[in-house]
Structure 1
C-alpha cells in the first residue's frame, strides 16, 4: 500500500490532521472506534476547548514551544468549525466549552471531515516495524490477522501518551521517537487524583468544598473532592501537574471568604455557639468533625481568643498535606512530558533531524490545564502539521 500521509492514532489530533492533510491519507488505530477519549471526555459531553486558551496554561520544558501552533489555530477557529457543523454548545465555569448533547457530535464532525477528505480509516489495526526509506517511511500494517507493507511519504505520530491504558494508551510514539534518535522527556501522570496512606480521608469520601490547592508555585481555586483513596476534584487535578513525589501541597479551605471576620462576628452575636458548629456554617460539617481532633477544636466561640481564632484561620488557609502518590496513569487525564520539543519544529511539528516525521497531540511535551486546553492543543498541533503538508 502506498500513501502520501500515514497517521498513527485516530484520536483528537490524528483525526483533525487527517481531515485536513493533502493527498492520499491513511489513518490507523487499534480501537474499534475512533476518538474514544473524545467520547468519554467531559462526562460524555466533551470539553472541546477553553475561551481563555493561551500559552500560560501549558506545561513544557520549553514554555514557548506551543505559542506558534496555538496562535495560528486558536480556540475561536475551532469554535467556528463547531458552529459551522451545527453543534450546540455552552460555557461552564472558567471558560470551559461543552457540547449541549453529546461528545459523539465532535467525533461525527471529524469523521465527516475525514470522509470528505477521502481518508482511509483503518480500525482494529496496528502499525509496527517502522523504518526510513529514501522516499519516506515503511511500516507493517496488521489488520484482521494479516500483514501488509505500507509505504508513506509522510509519517505522523498521533498515538497519544500513557494515560488511561484501558482505552488503549501506549508508549508507541515515544518508542518511534527514540528509534529515530529523538529525545523523550520524563513522563508522568498529570491531571490525576492524589492518594494518601491508610485511607486517610475514607471517612470523608464524597465530601466536596471550594478550595485553593497549591503545588510548587502554582495555585488553583476550584472544587476539592475527598475520595476513599485521597483527594480529587478540579483544584487537585490541576495542582497534580505541578507536584513532585515527596512534596507537600497546601490546601486553603477558605480561599475567598474572610473567615476570621466571620468568626469574630459570630462570637459577638452568639458566643455560646459551639466552635465546630460555627465552623460548619462555612465548611462541610463532616470535614469540620474530621479536623476537630487534629486542630483541637473544642469549646464555645466565646472561649476563643482573637489569637486562637487567628491560629485556626491560618491553619485552615494553609493545611499542609503530603500525598503518598497519585492514582497513576489509570485515571490520569493526560501524560505530562513526552517528545522533547527541542527535537521538533514549533511551526510544523516536524522532527528537525528526520524530514517527513511529525509528532502531534499528547505525545509531545506540551500539557495543558484541565478544562479543554489539551483538546485545543490537539486541534492546534494537528493543524500545524496539516498546514505544513499542504504548503
Structure 2
C-alpha cells in the first residue's frame, strides 16, 4: 500500500498532522501500536483535557533552541484550536492562568480529531506494530506500507504504563539525527530522610512560590508521602538539575505577619503565629524545624527577620524525581537543530518529519504541551501536503 505520508503515533500531534495533510489532499496512513488513539489526551486534565492555554507563547517552552517553537506556534495558535473546538460544539471553560478545559470529557477532543482525520480520508490503523523502518530511493517503508514522507509522532517515554517508549529517539538516530538527552519533566520530587517530617504531612497543600535555578512559579505546592508535588513544583521540575536546591516561599511577607503576631499575642510561640496563615500540620513541622527559642514578645526584629527569611526560602535538596512513571511529559528529545522550524522536516533527510513531544520542545504545565502538539502537527501536515 502506497501513501503520501506514513505517520507513526496516533497521539495529539499525529492526529493533528494526519487531519491537516489529509484534508489538504494527501493520502495518509496513521499507525499506532495502542488499541486507542489519543491515550494521553484521554487521561489529561483529570479526564477533561486541558487542551490549550490562552497565554501560549514561545517563552513558555523549554528547548536547547528557545526560538525554534516560534514559527509553528505563531502560524497555528491557541485561538485557531479553540475555533476548531467550538466548531465541533464542544463546551469548554477557562480555569486559572489561562487553562482551557472541556466541560464534559477529553473523549470529545479525541473524537473531534478522529472526525477531522475522517474528513481527510486518513486511514487509521491501531493495534499495529511499526516493524522495521527503511528508506531507499526517496521512499520510506514502515508498518507494511510505503510513502515518500514519514512522520515521527510517537512522543517520549513519560507514562510508560500507557505504552510510552523512547522509540522516537531510536528512529531519529537511525537517520542520523541527534538527541538532546531526555529527562522526566512536570514531575514530582522525592525527598530524603533529612526531610522526613515533610513526607509525614502527605496531602497538605499550600499557596507558594517555588523556585529553582532562577526560575519561579507562583502556584500551589503539595507535600506527598515521597516528597514534593503540586503545580508549582511540577513547573520548576522541568528546570531542575540533580543537586540543585528547590526553594519554596510558603509565607510571603512573613516578616510583617510575624511582627503583627508579636504585637497581638506576645506570649505565644512561633507555631501560633504560623497556624494563622498555614495548614496546622505544616505549621507544626515548620515550628520544630525553625525553632524560635522564645515567645514572640521576646523575639527581636533580627530574630523575626531570620525566621521570615527561612519561611520565604524554605529549602529542599531533592534526592531525585519520581521519573517517567509520574512525569507528565519528557523534556529533551530530537534535536531541533536537525529540523526546519517551519515544516518540522529533517534538514538532512528529505521527507522525514518529527513533531510533538518527540522533539526537544517542552511546555509549561497548563495546556502548553498540547498546543505544541497541535501547532507542530499542523506545520508538518501542511508541508507534507505541499510536497505532493
- Please classify the TM superposition score into its range, dividing by the shorter chain length: over 0.9
Per the alignment, residue 89 of structure 2 pairs with 86
Offset, 1:202: 2.5
Per the alignment, residue 64 of structure 1 pairs with 67
> 2:70 aligned with 1:45, yes or no?
no
Offset, 1:125: 0.8
State which of 170, 189, 196 in structure 1 corresponds to 2:184: 189
SS of the residue 1:277 aligns to: helix
> 2:265 aligned with 1:270, yes or no?
yes
> 2:312 aligned with 1:317, yes or no?
yes
CA distance in 1, matches of 2:314, 2:268: 24
CA distance in 1, matches of 2:348, 2:332: 20
State which of 150, 153, 160 in structure 1 corresponds to 2:145: 150
Q: Where does 1:3-82 land on structure 2 (aligned, <5 Å)?
A: 3-21=3-21, 22-82=25-85
Offset, 1:301: 1.9
RMSD between aligned residues:
1.1
Q: Where does 1:1-391 land on structure 2 (aligned, <5 Å)?
A: 1-21=1-21, 22-139=25-142, 141=143, 149-198=144-193, 200=196, 201-255=198-252, 258-391=253-386
SS of the residue 2:179 aligns to: coil
Contact 2:52 2:368 in 1 (8 A): yes
Contact 1:78 1:379 in 2 (8 A): yes
Per the alignment, residue 145 of structure 1 pairs with none
For structure 2, list consecutive stretches of 5 or more residues without a partner in the other structure: none
SS of the residue 2:347 aligns to: coil
SS of the residue 2:140 aligns to: strand
- CA offset digits 1:105-126 (Å, max 9, x no partner): 1001001111111111111111
Contact 2:20 2:381 in 1 (8 A): yes
Offset, 1:304: 1.6
For structure 1, list consecutive stretches of 5 or more residues without a partner in the other structure: 142-148
CA distance in 1, matches of 2:30, 2:309: 55
SS of the residue 1:170 aligns to: coil
